[in-house]
Amino acid sequence: MKLVFFSKALQDKDIPGLIETAHELGLDGYDLAVRDGYTVSPDNASEMFPVLMKQFAKEGLCVPMVTGPTDLVSHTHPAAAPLMSAMGDNDVRLLKLGYVMCDPTKGERYWRKVDELRKELEGWAKLAETYGVKVCYHTHSGPYLGLNCAALMHLLQGFDPKHIGAYIDPGHMTIDGEPYALGIDMVREYLSIVALKDVLFTRDDHGDEGGHGRQFVPAGRGAVRWSEVFAELVRVGFTGPISVHAEYKVNTPEEFRALLQPEVEYFKKKRETALKGT
């Protein structure tokens, strides 16, 4: 399980800056955000990927996965084939797609939306076979398709797991109340990537009834039972990347870094403890 960091928060870093940050934090590499305005973007991927990967290799760093633009949902997206081609040429084998929302209050029908996204995944599977890059869909709580592992399997069931994968998120699984062992077993055949973020619940007051809010917090301060999560990952033989998201809100870059460093160490310890238990 390579411990990588989702580089969304490092848009200002060039390749030397990414390398320096990875070494300072003790990371294995990056979940590379390939988006407009980043060091590697959809427009320059064929040019910049070889440069980045060569310099990373010299420093012992890896890029096992890419998180694409948030609107990267359709296999006909203009960035889809060029990005996957650049990834395949540089041995980056996992791609995270964007999200699809479903709002029945606006007339959208759940199973119709599922059918539409599965048709898109058919196209993605063909691209995946062509370029040797597995396309992964992420569990995200809320009004999204694939909001948890159970719903994710509505999308993935029947596809070849060599080409289409599951990207699970224990933080969002906790929000939805999905048991870790059960959820992981549902997606076991497709499990390819795991996101790392912790969540703290709060009660929202709505007059004579309640609700719950949430905020993402540094690992160990929220509701996720990380020892159980890592034990389950080891139990099912998961060896893919684990991506630190660090989505907590802070006021300054210095405050962010002060929280991120111990979080990385926290996840390293949880990983090692689980591996030693095998």
Note the pLDDT tens digit of each residue in 150-159: 999 999 999 9
The predicted pLDDT at position 212 comes to: 81
pLDDT band at 90 (very low <50, low <70, confident <90, very high): very high
Q: What 3-state DSSP class applies to 114? A: helix
Alpha carbons within 13 angstroms on the beta-carbon side of residue 220 total 11
Structural domains of the chain, with CATH: 3-276 (3.20.20.150)
pLDDT tens digits, 148-190:
999 999 999 999 999 999 999 999 999 988 999 999 999 999 9
- The DSSP call for residue 240 is S
Mean per-residue pLDDT over the chain, rounded = 95
pLDDT tens digits, 193-241:
999 999 998 888 888 888 888 899 999 999 999 999 999 999 999 999 9
What is the spatial distance between Cα 76 and Cα 95, in angstroms, rounded to a whole number?
A: 15
pLDDT exceeds 90 at position 1: yes
Could you tell me what percent of the chain has a pLDDT over 90?
90
pLDDT band at 103 (very low <50, low <70, confident <90, very high): very high
Name residues whose C-beta falls within 8 Å of residue 1's C-beta, 6 or more positions apart in sequence. 194, 233, 238, 239, 240, 241, 242, 271, 275
Could you tell me what percent of the chain has a pLDDT over 70?
100
pLDDT tens digits, 234-259:
999 999 999 999 998 888 989 999 99
Residue 243 tokens, joined: 């991506």
pTM: 0.95
The predicted pLDDT at position 278 comes to: 63
The predicted pLDDT at position 124 comes to: 98
Q: Where does 86-190 show beta strands of DSSP type E?
A: 94-96, 134-138, 164-168
pLDDT exceeds 90 at position 269: yes
pLDDT band at 277 (very low <50, low <70, confident <90, very high): confident
